[in-house]
Chains A and B, each alone.
Chain A
Amino acid sequence: MTTTTTTAESDAYLAAVKEQLSDLPEEERTDLLEDLAQHLAEISANREADEPDLTTLLGAPEQYAAELRAAADLPPRTAPVVTKESFVARLGRSGPARLSQKLWRKPYVVQVRDFVPQLRPAWWVLRGYLVIALPAFAAPNSTDDFPVPAVGGSNFLGFWFVVAAVVASVWLGKHPGGKWRRRLIIGANAVLVMFTVGLVSEVDYRMTGGPAFVSAPAVPNYELNSPHGPVTNIFPYAPDGTPLKGILLYDQDGRPLRSEMQHWWADGCERALSFPQAADGVGVEHSYPKSYLLTGANGALACNSQSHTPGVPIPTFSPDPAPEAPSPPDQPEGVAPPAPPEEVAPPGLPQP
């Protein structure tokens, strides 16, 4: 049997049929045309040499598509076919445009669309008012301008100006006139809206005495923070200055205190965090100081060893234990950290 790959002839025919079905939903069309390419290729390949081309054999693509619709129980084509696609037509068929067209026809959007024109007279009235009121509001000492703007220092005069402007605005609304007048009106409307928005934010600023928008504090959500930034490690020292290791830290509610991972090092070397492991094999994140192991040196730079010294001298304590933090008698004086007060709850998590 003949090899059935698509031919230029069948491709062209298929494209023409596809065009005719362009009004169908994408999914349905794809389904319908799924194996039509192969089907047409087969017809094209299997016809005898003396047989005419596909169009003569199957009829015009338009006819073929119409027949296909009828046989497959699809509605006949409604919209005219755009054979030579203009740029606008292509744009109209692009994803976002199609989505917005779809949205445009949604019932709730249609409701809003039908409703908006009814608001037009209200806009005409508002427009007339704004034309007089805006300059009055914008004047430096605009204290007595609301709701009736003062024109030339007179609210009475302002009132009649507003009435006249509203009448004029409504008249303009009902007599939009020619293309140029309409464009002029649209432009003037836009300017008016811009001024209104500007003035509203200005008034808001005046009334609140500061920026109208309060932004959220710019502190990232780190686990532990100091005024200098996120805390990436804690180095506990005994009162005599001995660095301590493997200290477990909990907050006031018994939650383990976790600190941020340190990603960047002053010497440019890379390090990986390593946790001590509890007996059950689980890493203990709140054990301090955290130890970072070198994973890669950075070229010529020597990686600094991880010795830690406090930035300020360690305070000296008097040999007498402080009364509020007595040491248990059986421990060497001054070495053990102060025992927690009795009323402190034990950590909320099991001890590793």
Chain B
Amino acid sequence: MDVSQLLKGVLDVAVLAVVKDEDGYGYDVLRRLRAAGFDEIGDASVYGTLRRLYLNGSLTSYVVPSDEGPHRKYYAINDAGRTVLEESIKTWRGFADSIDQVLKLNREVAA
């Protein structure tokens, strides 16, 4: 599997997960991801991922007028997005388990 594809997939799961319970705008989503420990995550990656998820129908968007500044574009998860998220979580668990297995084997070999 292409590494960039893998990262893209991981980012999809992460972004979908942080808007699962609460809608968010771009900067909001970035903050939530940072708070969850993705310190190194690129702003452009988050912004681009939101855009892509919106285009492929996993997210819907709406604009909230703001008194303080420009209008904000909020992203909300929809049913398609929830399905994608559930599938992705399953895939991720399977993948993570496999990695764990490999690491455990390695440790046993090393030990």
A39 near B69: Cβ-Cβ < 8 Å: no
Q: Quick check: B70 and A70 within 8 Å, CB to CB?
A: no
CA distance A1 to B28 in the complex (A): 13
Q: At the interface with chain A, which of B46-54, B76-84, B103-111?
A: B46-54
Q: Interface of chain B, helix or strand or loop or mixed?
A: helix
In the complex, A253 has a CB within 8 A of chain B: no
| B45 neighbours in A (Cβ, 8 Å) | 67-68, 70-71
Chain B residues, Cβ within 8 Å of A5:
69-70
Q: Which of A31, A38, A59, A70 contacts B69 (CB 8 A)?
A: A38
B52 and A71 contact, CB distance less than 8 A: yes
Task: Name the contact of A69 in the complex, choosing from B48, B66, B69 (C-beta under 8 A).
Answer: B48
A285: Cβ under 8 A from any B Cβ? no
User: Is the beta-carbon distance between A70 and B27 smaller than 8 angstroms?
Assistant: no
Which chain A residues lie closer than 8 Å to B90 at the CB level? Answer: none
Contact across chains for A73 and B44 when beta carbons are under 8 A apart: no
- A17-52 vs B: 1/0 string, CB under 8 Å? 000000000000001101111110111001000000
Asked whether, in the complex, the Cβ of B70 is within 8 Å of the Cβ of A68, the reply is no
Assess whether B70 is in contact with A38, with CB atoms less than 8 Å apart: yes
* Closest CB in chain B relative to A44 CB, distance in Å: 11
User: How far does the alpha carbon of A5 sit from the alpha carbon of B44 in the complex, in Å?
Assistant: 20
Task: A244 to B14: give the CA distance in the assembly, Å.
Answer: 91
CB closest residue in chain B, given A32: B51
How far apart sit A69 and B42, CA to CA, in the bound complex (Å)? 12
Q: Report Cα–Cα, A36/B43, bound state, in Å.
A: 11
Bound CA–CA A35/B25 (angstroms): 10
Query: Once the chains are docked, how many angstroms separate the CA of A71 from the CA of B48?
Result: 5
Contacts of B52 in A (CB 8 A): 71-73
- Answer whether residue A201 sits at the interface, using C-beta atoms and an 8 A cutoff: no
In the complex, are the beta carbons of B69 and A71 less than 8 A apart?
Answer: no
B73 to chain A: closest residue by CB: A35
- Please tell me if A3 contacts chain B, counting CB pairs below 8 Å: yes
Contacts of A66 in B (CB 8 A): 44
Within 8 A of A (CB), among B2-16: 4, 8, 11
Q: How far is the CA of A59 from the CA of B43 in the complex (A)?
A: 9
Taking the nearest CB of chain B, how far is it from the CB of A74, in angstroms?
8
Q: Which A residues lie within 8 Å of B46 (CB)?
A: 71
The answer on a CB contact under 8 Å between B48 and A4 is no
Residues of B within 8 A of A70 (CB): 4, 8, 45, 48
Contacts of B69 in A (CB 8 A): 3-5, 38, 41
B68 proximity list for chain A (CB < 8 A): 1-4
A37 to B73 alpha-carbon distance, docked (Å): 12
A-B contact pairs, 11 of them (CB 8 A): A4-B70, A35-B26, A36-B47, A39-B26, A57-B43, A58-B42, A58-B44, A63-B44, A69-B48, A71-B48, A72-B52
Residues of B in contact with A (beta carbons under 8 Å apart) = 4, 8, 11, 25-27, 42-49, 51-52, 55, 66, 68-73
Known: A3-B68, A39-B47, A74-B48. 5 other contacts (CB 8 A): A4-B70, A37-B70, A59-B42, A67-B42, A72-B51
Interface residues of A (CB under 8 A from B): 1-6, 31-32, 34-39, 41-43, 46, 57-59, 63-74
